[in-house]
Amino acid sequence: MEESPLHPFELHNFVPINIGGLDISINKAVLTMWVVVALVAALMVMAGSARRLVPGKLQSLAEMLVDFIRGIILDTMGEGGMKFFPLVATLFLFILFCNLVGLIPGSYTVTSQIIVTAVFAFSVYGLSLVMGFALHGAKFLGILVPPGTPAWLLPLMIPIELISQLARPISLAVRLFANMTAGHVILGVLFGLTVSGGLLIGWLPFVFTIAMNGLELGIAFIQAYIFTVLTCVYLGDAFHLHGHDEHAH
């Protein structure tokens, strides 16, 4: 039987809940997110409970992850950024595990829904705006004017900078969503070929399916990593306004 490669992205309601026209049914995505949250929590709690000086397997995995996230923050925001560690670590681990859980055949990839990635991206960007205005007041609007801009260029530069600021959350959301969706569509198409090809030729796309799954494993890490790095960069931009080399030419 032929199956659409987009079939895995359909949401099926398990427990339909409808309150005043607001659809908050428990569907595949919600269930997967709960599983991911449980997995991350279980990993971190179990890894953290031993607290041995010479770490066991689980503890060294957790230490590696924490050290990795710490490295990202120190690289992009410096020492002062460590107060965002809980936020950044939560985002990184949640996105990473969403991507990884989605690679298990038959499961669901939450990050292939643009609404999920958009919520992450816009809340991060919203936080950076709130923090920027709280720290710098009206001076934060200076982020729209790169230093060293001649006055006659201002009417042109301000709209351009405004657009590039507004593009930040959108590129953040679209990047994660598009990469995860595209990867899983390719996997779906290849596996569809395997099923319809039969034994004689079907092994060929099956080999490619396995190879693509390996590549997707790398993409899962890279996308989680990029999302985290850009989160740090945007928060850092609000943190020290023009205090870094971003606008230097």
> Contact region for other proteins (CB under 8 A) — 7-15, 183-191, 194-202, 228-236?
228-236
Considering only 56, 80, 159, 243, the residue that binds other proteins (CB under 8 A) is 159
Token representation of residue 218: 């790398």
The answer to whether the CB of 233 falls within 8 A of the CB of 90 is no
Element spanning 27, H or E: strand 26-27
Binding pattern for the stretch 19-38 against other proteins, x by CB under 8 A and - elsewhere: --------------------
Considering only 163, 198, 199, 200, the residue that binds other proteins (CB under 8 A) is 163
Nearest to 122 by CA among 17, 11, 225, 234: 234
* 153 binding other proteins? (CB under 8 A): no
The DSSP secondary-structure symbol of 105 reads T
* 225 binding other proteins? (CB under 8 A): yes
* 63 binding other proteins? (CB under 8 A): no
List the interface residues with other proteins, window 72-131 (CB under 8 A). Answer: 75-76
Nearest to 120 by CA among 12, 224, 218: 224
Rounded distance, CA 249 to CA 236, Å? 19
Tell me the H-state helices in the chain: 28-50, 57-77, 85-102, 114-136, 154-239
* 9 binding other proteins? (CB under 8 A): no
The answer to whether the CB of 6 falls within 8 A of the CB of 188 is yes
The three-point CA angle 40-44-48 to 5° equals 175
Number of residues this chain uses to bind other proteins (CB under 8 A):
31
> Contact region for other proteins (CB under 8 A) — 64-72, 80-88, 130-138, 201-209?
64-72
The minimum distance between CB 222 and other proteins, in angstroms, equals 5
List contacts with other proteins (CB under 8 A).
61, 64, 68, 71, 75-76, 159-161, 163-164, 166-168, 170-171, 174-175, 178-179, 218, 221-223, 225-226, 229-230, 233, 245-246
